[in-house]
């Protein structure tokens, strides 16, 4: 019980599970790969009642490799690997004496890796392609760190995220566009609550499809069937029963035929036990489909 600790950025690690978006599997032998830096720095969070409360300034920085590769025309392998993850908290200082009251700390390690498969239930060129995905969250990150055990680069639990995606590509005049949505269940171990995940995505291709602007809505609702501070029986617990609804705006720009840069900003507009600050990401991708 004495080690019941939490860092409410947990959900921010798990958000990556939704990255394998869209119902379109990679064609056989083709792939999409991305190296990116994702970060969030926040000094307030959504409480269990959805209100905003302050907290010590906390930062999470992930340098990640993300890849999708088509084993067949319908079966795609997915990996999301935070190769370097850093979590820090600021010093807490007296404004009167300037002395440090609580020493700030940081930890660095690999983060939690997600491995998965996406299977196309329909052909890629179907009017409304549909796919199912299974993503496994591997607890390769550090679940506790720092002298107060309040830092983490992973949540310390295996989870299985199963989802179904559907979508459609279309044109708006001469502009290519697509829309997609997903519905999934995130089954979590170690006394964490299960989660219902759903989301929608809309993208348009501009400048002869060199620039893709994407907006995403992601929602995670906790079943609140796991442990809380009163009922936990394991020796370690991170934030549980977290919920959020977030919006993401993303731009992907091809600087060469297959090579491009991406940038995004995401922020939760509703949440419970989750950071209340925008997260940012920049990256470079290689798209073998071009």
Partner 1 sequence: MKNLTYIFSLLSFFLFFACIGDDFIEDQVEAEIRIDANVESIEVNTDYQFEYTYLNEVGQSQQVEVVWSSSNEEVMTIDENGLAQAITIGEVRIMVSYDNGTIVLSDQIDLMIGSTTIIVEKQTFKGNIQTTSSYVLEGSFELKEEDQGLSLSFEEDYKASTALPGLFIYLSNNRNSIANAFEIGAVEVFNGQHNYTIENVEFNDYKFIVYFCKPFNVKVGDGSLEE
Rule CB under 8 A: choose which of 32, 66, 88, 161 binds partner 1. Answer: 88
Nearest to 13 by CA among 159, 231, 185: 159
Should residue 6 be labelled a site residue for partner 1 when binding is judged by CB under 8 A? Answer: yes
Q: Which is nearer to partner 1, 89 or 166 (CB)?
A: 89
Should residue 59 be labelled a site residue for partner 1 when binding is judged by CB under 8 A? Answer: yes
Should residue 57 be labelled a site residue for partner 1 when binding is judged by CB under 8 A? Answer: yes
Rule CB under 8 A: choose which of 136, 232, 263, 288 binds partner 1. Answer: 232
The structure tokens listed for 9 are 């950025």
Q: Locate tokens 């993401």: which residue?
A: 248
User: What stretch of H or E contains 10?
Assistant: helix 10-14
Residues between 109 and 148 that touch partner 1 (CB under 8 A): 148
Q: What is the four-CA torsion angle of 84, 116, 130, 32, rounded to 10 degrees? A: 50
User: What stretch of H or E contains 57?
Assistant: strand 52-70
Q: Locate tokens 């600050």: which residue?
A: 277
Nearest to 179 by CA among 251, 220, 128: 128
* Site size toward partner 1, by CB under 8 A: 60
Should residue 7 be labelled a site residue for partner 1 when binding is judged by CB under 8 A? Answer: yes
Q: Which is nearer to partner 1, 52 or 207 (CB)?
A: 52
Q: Which is nearer to partner 1, 8 or 161 (CB)?
A: 8
Q: What is the four-CA torsion angle of 216, 69, 221, 244, rounded to 10 degrees? A: -40
> Count of CB atoms within 10 A of residue 52's CB?
10
Should residue 63 be labelled a site residue for partner 1 when binding is judged by CB under 8 A? Answer: yes
Give the residues lining the site for partner 1 (CB under 8 A): 1-2, 4-8, 35, 37, 39, 41, 43, 45, 47-49, 51-57, 59, 61, 63, 86, 88-97, 99, 101-102, 104-106, 148, 150, 228-232, 237-241, 259, 272-273, 282, 284
């Amino acid at each position: 019980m004495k080690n019941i600790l939490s860092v409410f950025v947990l959900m921010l690690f798990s958000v990556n599970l939704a990255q394998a978006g869209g119902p379109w599997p990679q064609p056989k032998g083709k792939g999409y790969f991305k190296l990116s830096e994702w970060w969030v720095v926040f000094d307030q969070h959504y409480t269990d009642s959805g209100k905003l409360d302050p907290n010590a300034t906390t930062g999470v920085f992930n340098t990640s490799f993300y890849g999708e590769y088509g084993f067949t025309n319908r079966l795609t392998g997915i990996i999301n690997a935070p190769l370097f993850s850093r979590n820090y908290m600021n010093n807490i200082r007296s404004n009167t004496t300037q002395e440090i009251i609580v020493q700030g700390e940081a930890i660095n390690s690999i983060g939690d890796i997600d491995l998965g498969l996406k299977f196309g239930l329909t052909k890629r060129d179907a009017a409304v392609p549909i796919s199912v995905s299974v993503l496994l969250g591997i607890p390769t990150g550090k679940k506790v760190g720092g002298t107060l055990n309040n830092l983490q680069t992973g949540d310390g639990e295996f989870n299985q995220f199963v989802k179904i995606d559907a979508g459609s590509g279309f044109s708006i005049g001469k502009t290519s566009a697509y829309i997609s949505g997903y519905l999934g269940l995130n089954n979590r171990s170690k006394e964490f609550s299960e989660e219902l995940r759903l989301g929608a995505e809309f993208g348009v291709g501009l400048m002869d499809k060199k620039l893709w602007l994407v907006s995403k809505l992601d929602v995670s609702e906790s079943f609140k069937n796991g442990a809380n501070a009163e009922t936990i029986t394991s020796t370690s617990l991170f934030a549980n029963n977290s919920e959020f609804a977030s919006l993401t705006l993303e731009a992907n720009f091809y600087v060469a035929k297959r090579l491009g840069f991406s940038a995004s900003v995401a922020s939760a507009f509703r949440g419970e036990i989750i950071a209340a600050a925008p997260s940012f990401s920049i990256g470079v991708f290689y798209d073998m489909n071009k």
